[in-house]
Chains A and B, each alone.
Chain A
Amino acid sequence: MTSNMATADSGIDWRKLLAENAIIPALLVFIVLAGIATGGRFLSPSNLTIILFQSSVLGVLVLGQTLVMLVAGIDLSIAAVAILAAVIMGAGGSERQIMMNFSGILPYLGFLPAILIAIAGAALAGLINGLVVVKLRIPAFIATLAMSLALSGLAMLATGGSPVHYPDPFYESFGQTKFLGLPMPIYMFLALSLGLGLYLSRSKLSVQLYATGGNPRAAALSGIPVSRITILAYTASGLLGGIAGFLFLARTGSVAPHSGGNLLLETIAAVVIGGVSLAGGKGNVLNAFAGTLLLVGLSNLMNILLISPHLQDAVSGIIIVVAIMANTRLQDAPAGQ
């Protein structure tokens, strides 16, 4: 063991840096290979825009999921939060849509109130998740699964199962408005990712998040407000779920109670491919962001190559396992001696 006296940082440990951020070179290699495999079509500006556009909803959910996973939790309700938020925004925010509904459970709220209520409700769902996990000591897996079922039920109840087809026209026009050639949702997605990434890199909160996830007992005994940090992570996850609901509506122009589809599993896949540890305390927003792009890019590539959707799922599954294996190996290797 080489250990010498040092009073200041003695340079950068490149090997460790690479081991912890392997997803970045992996993403670059993937982009080059995908470009070659498709004769450049993958790299065309219009295709790259599509990838970013498709990443926007998933990418925002991934931010929330990352925060929760950093404190060694998991948020299985995040996709349901997004869908319910989209339903409230779409149905409650549009007079025309409310007339279509039979149940009448969701009143007409008005455009702006609907957005605010949906996002506040999403944050509230996250807060409840956090309180249940911390105060009632119910495992995150169970607590958020229950929340997911409850919210999906609410979405069904509010819509009677039928899709929200006529949200306020604002959503569709927002989704199609372009600035410098890129649709607005992409800017929102990038701004949120960048903002959160930068904030975490220079805030007290990030040190507290990693300490809480890395070793909650030691963190608590060092004076870190572990309960508050954990609840905060779940609340932020809910809030980001609400924002993702907004982007969902803007991207597709409609939402059905079942629109979530694979969204939840994709958030977990993207986070894990990005090297965020399910055990907590390891990983970062930038890598999770790269994981999202890799996952969406892969599915886009397979579409271009006309690979059957069924096979696509299998390939994604294999990639997830390979990514976890690579991350485990890389991160364990330097500590071997």
Chain B
Amino acid sequence: MRTIVKTFPGVQALRGVDFDLMPGEIHCLIGENGAGKSTLMRVLTGAQRPDSGEIEISGETFSGLNPALSQKLGVGMIYQEADLVPALSARDNIFLGHERVEAGMILKKKEMRREVERIFGQLNLNFPPSTIVRDLAPAQRQLVQIAKSLSRNIRILVLDEPTAALTDSEIGYLFDLLNELKSRGIGMVYVSHRLDEIMAIADRVTVLRDGSHVATQRIGDVTKGSLIAAMVGRNIDAEARSTSSKADKVVLSVRGLTVKGQFEDVGFDLYQGEVLGLAGLIGAGRSEVLECLFGVTQPDAGSISVEGKAVKVNSPIEAILLGFGLVPEERRESGLVLGRSVAENITFPVLDRFSRFTFLSRGKLVEVASRLVSQLSIKTPSLGQSVRTLSGGNQQKVVIGKWLAAGTRILLLDEPTRGIDINAKFELYQLVRDLTAKGMSVIMASSEMPELLALSDRILVMSEGRLVAELDAAMTDQVEIMHHAVAGARREGEAA
């Protein structure tokens, strides 16, 4: 791809970017959100035509592609957010649009079944291909997507944040797989925010910033620090440790909490000003524990007490009154009403405060929203802007802002930095530190271990629905956490 230029109304998304990919190579593409990575890849997959520049694939030169042509040329794409049909099985999704047929219409079911089993074996997937996609966890959906693109004959594979929803062990499988594809001569463009992964998998790496090409280097010639510096244009301390704000007062006490089929016998204390990390593989039950605390599901056994008083949380509304706030894992599905404004989204839990006999004072609402927008430095053209158009990091701040408005004392964060760029991540970390310094207590479930280690006071490790370890964040490391998370899983496996 040479001197690709793409302009949108008001924004020059790409300013003459060069990019090349060799067969059997993994070429990582990094840059902050808005740097132009997605646009560049959309040009490659034919979703967008460049204003100028040219694309050369296997010796053929094009001024622009369309999706059909791009597919014919062997370009495959795996999107950040799974694009599967939820009502169909994994197998049917994999062959969607290119079903194997004979006589023009009869499905060759046996052949497809065998092919899917082969791909599943390759990917080490542990669920049956007949599972309906709706019933799969986000990570499993991502893997189905990868399986889907493998079932096509591809020469170039574009992966956009493929690991965003995966656990470390699943990432391991994925990397084995990518290496195998590499040995078959498939060229891959790997778009990601996760530098550790890039260091592990890339042959070369290209950095984009504000629509311009900054650098292309062999992976041996760069360090994490130099990549971050190239992305943001300045140096950032990636491993900043927190100072603890933990006090002696127990704010939340959980004993023997059980939701059948999700988690069992979970018990812990949360102290004022503490950040309690919740580690574990996907499916370990971390999100489920948070949802139960927030009244989304009802426990089958166990007790919850808030500030020494035993409570029963029957609904999110009751949870909010008790001082809980949940920042859910799937921000766009569960955290925000995308079509509504920043001001409304921030004030949903506290509408009652601005209304009298059901009449709403928009003035007061805007006042509170505008105070939070500036406190959290949420970047939005206006308070009336629909949150759909904000970047991931700013969307997440809106979700957190909602709980600041509500006066939350116990903040439940579920994968708070998923899919947001590195600057926004650091802002969020700082925000969590500021909030705990003011006495808020935080439970944070995260798959990003550096983040857990840097922010938490203590880290609880869950495995297969049970709490298997409590670790002092200052005294532990990724290896120990992973050891507990996986060891529990293995025991379960042996028992079964």
Contacts and interface: CB of A to CB of B under 8 A. Distances in A.
A207 B344 contact: yes
Contact of A204 (B11, B355, B388, B390): B355
Interface residues of A, number: 36
A4 B379 contact: yes
B138 to A, nearest CB: 15
Contact of B380 (A3, A11, A225): A3
B362 A204 contact: no
B370 interface: yes
Contacts of A222: 316, 337, 345, 348-349, 402
Nearest to A282: B339
B336 A1 contact: no
Contact of B333 (A7, A10, A210, A218): A218
Interface of B: 8-11, 34, 294, 296, 316-317, 320, 326, 328, 333-340, 344-345, 347-349, 351-352, 354-355, 358-360, 362, 366, 370, 373-374, 377, 379-384, 388-391, 394, 402, 406
A1 B335 contact: no
Given A1-B34, A3-B391, A225-B317, A208 B381 contact: no
Which secondary structure dominates where chain A touches chain B?
loop
A211 B335 contact: no
B388 A221 contact: no
Contact of B337 (A4, A205, A211): A211
29 contacts: A1-B389, A3-B381, A4-B379, A6-B382, A8-B370, A8-B382, A8-B383, A9-B366, A202-B360, A203-B360, A204-B352, A204-B358, A207-B351, A210-B337, A210-B344, A211-B340, A211-B344, A214-B337, A214-B338, A215-B337, A215-B339, A219-B337, A219-B348, A220-B316, A221-B296, A221-B334, A222-B345, A222-B402, A223-B348
Given A1-B11, A7-B374, A211-B340, A203 B349 contact: no
Contacts of A8: 366, 370, 382-383
Given A8-B370, A211-B348, A205 B358 contact: yes
A9 B362 CA distance: 12
Nearest to B317: A223
Given A221-B294, A335-B389, A207 B338 contact: no
Contacts of A306: none
Interface in A175-214: 202-208, 210-211, 214
Interface of B is mostly: mixed
A335 B388 CA distance: 8
Contacts, number: 119
A96 interface: no
A5 B316 contact: no
Contact of A1 (B338, B349, B391): B391
A224 B336 CA distance: 12
B348 A224 contact: yes
Contacts of B377: 5
A122 B223 CA distance: 71
A202 B316 contact: no
A337 interface: yes
A217 interface: yes
A223 B370 contact: no
B381 A2 contact: yes
